[in-house]
Structure 1
Amino acid sequence: MTESEVDANEQIFWMYTAFNVSNITETYSNPFDELRAGKDLVRQLAWLIGVLYAAVFMVGTLGNALIVITVACNKSMQNVTNYFIANLAASDFIMCIFCIPWTVVNSLMDNWIFGDVMCRLVPTIQAISVFVSITSHVVIASDRYCMITYPLKPRLTRAICFVIIALSWTSATALAIPITYFTKEYDLRVYGYHIVCYEMWPSEVPKKVYEIILILLGYLIPLTVIITLYGRISYVITSRVLPGVFTEAQERQDLKKKQKTNRLLIAVVMTFTICWFPMYMIRIITEINPKVFSGEYHDLVFFICHWFAMSSTVYNPFVYAWLHEKYRRRLKSAFVAKCFRRSSIYRQHSKEGVATTHLQTRDYVTNSPKSTRFSSMRSLKGVDTV
Structure 2
Amino acid sequence: MNKMTLNQAVNLTSDNITLLPYYIHSAGLTVMYIFSYMLVLLLSVVGNGLVCLVVFRNRKMHSVTNLFIVNLAISDLLVGVICVPTTLTDSLISGWPFSQITCTLSNLIQGMSVSASVFTLTAIAVDRFTKTVYHHHLRPVTALFTIIFIWLLAFAIIFPSAATMTVIRLDNMYLVHDNQMYPLCICFEDWAKAVRRVYTLVIFIPVYLAPLVLISLMYGCIAGKLSNNLRENRVQSRKKIKVIRMLIMVAFLFIVSWLPLWILMLLTDYQDLDRQQTDFLSSYLFPVAHWLAFFNSGINPIIYGFFNENFRRGFQATVGFSSCRSFLTEMRHMLFSLVPPNRVSDKPEDIGQGILLEDIPQVSHRVLEAWIE
User: What's the TM-score, normalizing by structure 2?
Assistant: 0.72
One-letter amino acid of the counterpart of residue 300, structure 1:
Y
Answer with 1 or 2: which has the greater Rg.
Answer: 1
Instruction: State the distance in 1 between where 2:173 and 2:205 align.
Output: 37
- What residue number does 1:80 align with? 64
Kept in 1, the 8 Å contact 2:49–2:73? The answer is yes
Aligned counterpart for 2:82 among listed residues 98, 103, 106 = 98
Q: Following the alignment from structure 1 to structure 2, what is the Cα–Cα distance between the partners of residues 198 and 277?
A: 22
| Cα distance, 1:232 vs structure 2 | 1.3
Deviation for aligned residue 1:326: 2.3
User: Contact (CA 8 Å) 1:132, 1:172: kept in 2 or not?
Assistant: yes
Separation (CA, whole Å) in 1 of partners of 2:27 and 2:270: 28
User: Counterparts of 1:158 and 1:266 in 2: how far apart (Å)?
Assistant: 22
Residue 138 of structure 2 is matched in structure 1 by 156
* Cα distance in 2 between the residues matched to 1:297 and 1:276: 16
Residue of structure 1 equivalent to 2:229: 240
Q: Give yes or no for contact 1:74–1:334 (8 Å, CA) kept in 2.
A: no
State whether structure 2 residue 148 is matched by structure 1 residue 166. yes
Q: Is the 8 A contact 1:71 1:78 kept in 2?
A: yes
Contact 1:80 1:158 in 2 (8 A): yes
My pick for the range that moved more, 163-172 or 260-269, is 260-269
The structural deviation recorded for 1:179 is 2.1
- Which residue pairs with 2:202 in the alignment? 213
Deviation at 1:108, TM superposition (A): 0.7
* Other-structure match for 2:188: 198
| Letter in structure 2 aligned against 1:82 | N
CA-CA distance at 1:205 after TM superposition: 2.6
Conserved in 1, the CA contact under 8 Å of 2:51 and 2:70? yes
Q: 5 Å matches for 1:319-338?
A: 319-333=303-317, 336=320
Provide the residue aligned with 1:118 in structure 2: 102
Distance, in Å, in 2 between the alignment partners of 1:241 and 1:75 is 29
Give the drift of 1:90: 0.4
Among 284, 287, 296, the alignment partner of 1:312 is 296
Report the more deviating stretch, 288-297 or 168-177: 288-297
Contact kept, 8 Å, 2:196 with 2:269, in 1: the verdict is: no
Cα distance in 2 between the residues matched to 1:123 and 1:82? 28
Contact 2:24 2:93 in 1 (8 A): no
2:176 aligned with 1:186? no
Alpha-carbon distance between aligned partners in 1 of 2:26 and 2:77, rounded to the nearest angstrom: 26
Please give the alpha-carbon distance, in whole angstroms, between the structure 2 residues aligned to 1:325 and 1:306: 31
1:68 aligns with 2:57: no
1:133-190 per-residue CA deviation (whole Å, 9 max, x = no partner) reads 1111111111111222233x3x111211110000011111111211222111111153
8 Å CA contact 1:141, 1:226 repeated in 2: yes
Distance 2:201 2:26 in 1: 29
Whole-Å separation in 2 of the counterparts to 1:169 and 1:255: 33
SS at match of 1:294: helix
DSSP-derived class of the 2:95 partner: coil
Residues in 2 aligned to 1:206 and 1:291: alpha-carbon distance in whole angstroms: 18
1:145 corresponds in structure 2 to: 129
Instruction: Give the CA deviation at 1:287.
Output: 1.6
8 A contact 1:128–1:173 mirrored in 2: yes
Match of residue 157, structure 2, among 175, 181, 188: 175
Code of the aligned partner of 1:329? R
1:258 offset after TM fit, Å? 8.0
CA positional deviation for 1:314: 2.0
TM-superposed deviation, 1:219: 1.0
Q: 1:111 to 1:336 in 2, by over 3 A?
A: same
- Give the structure with the larger strand fraction: 2
Deviates more, 1:165-174 or 1:183-192: 183-192
Q: How much does 1:239 deviate?
A: 2.4
| Aligned partners of 1:230 and 1:265 also within 8 Å | no
CA contact (8 A) 2:226 2:237 kept: no
Q: 1:40 to 1:95 in 2, by over 3 A?
A: closer
SS in 2 for 1:291: coil
Q: Number of aligned pairs?
A: 304
TM-score in terms of structure 1 length: 0.70
